[in-house]
Copies of this chain bind each other. A is one copy, B any other.
């Protein structure tokens, strides 16, 4: 009994908000565009476009960046987005580390800082650590508090849409009594957005990586845990309870080892970092006291180590079972693999694609590109910052109204 999308009503002011938002997005996307061109594309009248652009210029969001090429008459003045007018803070609370980035409005990292920390078991300490790192970043760039739009936080837990600050008691039991969103909001007094790490990896890829230009992709984070994030119609899709994308607990081998979740042969027990390094210890021998790491595995694969290659082949085969199901069920335009191990590139993609081909309809396979991420280890923290950007590009009022415009 549901019907058309429940949009908000519009009055005269809402009309302006909607149109100016649309223009802001267009200018952001196009990087440089003339008023005349905007008028042609939006079918708004030239006078309206001029008025709105003046508004945006006043707010310090866009500015003139010289003249374009003539189309047979007066040369157009190009309008560009002020990428550096505001800053975004992105925080990644990983399983065992905290990463903070300070980016501009084009996802470029201005400062970053990172610290190892046992996040899972120590909420208070982790938050304190995050606070220090954030302050460090803000001070390093002498960023005035006024110019920070907001803060995005990536957490290693599903996030329920109705209570975005609460962690899953199953995944992070120690965090039971903490509300992450509230804590950051009260500590830093700015808008805070919280989401799952894989979801934010997906958002990052959609904005800045392999999926840029598209609106639908799935990102798979290969690390200690295996998680996926879906972007559907340009938005993170969280599912009814926020657990969409929990690909790590898909059973792929009914004879596999027992998983913490209670099931047997979950993907994560077979290709999670722990499983990989254990297998590496068996096949490649111990390196130093602590045995081989994922980094060693990547290194081994690069230098042609047969054992490393074998491990990654096996990983591709298992992962293919889950990805095959994904293609049949969701048919995403792109599947992006992230996490440290994904840096081996084709070495993982080849066996993966072969495995998927055995399990997915050729049609869905043909429509889907499977690639590895090129954004590196900051992808998730940047994705967190991107969550703020996405919100602000939708709702202009999130950009602080600044008196002295810093432009770029």
Q: Which A residues lie at the B interface, using CB under 8 A?
A: 1-7, 9-12, 14-15, 18-19, 21-22, 25, 28-29, 42-44, 158, 168, 170, 206-208, 212-216, 228, 230, 232-234, 237-247, 249-251, 261-263, 321-322, 324-326, 328-334, 358-364, 366-368, 389-390, 393-394
Contacts and interface: CB of A to CB of B under 8 A. Distances in A.
Q: How many copies does the complex hold?
A: 2
Given A239-B332, A245-B329, A333-B240, A4 B21 contact: yes
Given A5-B394, A29-B1, A232 B237 contact: yes
Contact of A43 (B6, B9, B324, B333): B9
B328 A329 contact: no
Contacts of A216: 239-240
B367 A240 contact: yes
10 contacts: A3-B390, A4-B234, A4-B393, A5-B394, A238-B331, A240-B334, A242-B331, A243-B331, A326-B329, A329-B330
A46 to B, nearest CB: 13
B28 A251 contact: no
A67 B369 CA distance: 59
- Residue among A232, A240, A250 with most chain B CB within 10 A: A240
Contacts of A15: 10-12, 14-15
B363 A328 contact: no
A4 B390 contact: yes
Contacts of A18: 7, 9-10
Contacts of A261: 361-362
Contacts of A238: 331
Nearest to A364: B243
Contact of A244 (B330, B359, B394): B330
A42 to B, nearest CB: 5
A62 B216 CA distance: 38
A170 B228 contact: no
A251 B359 contact: yes
Contacts of A10: 10, 15, 18-19
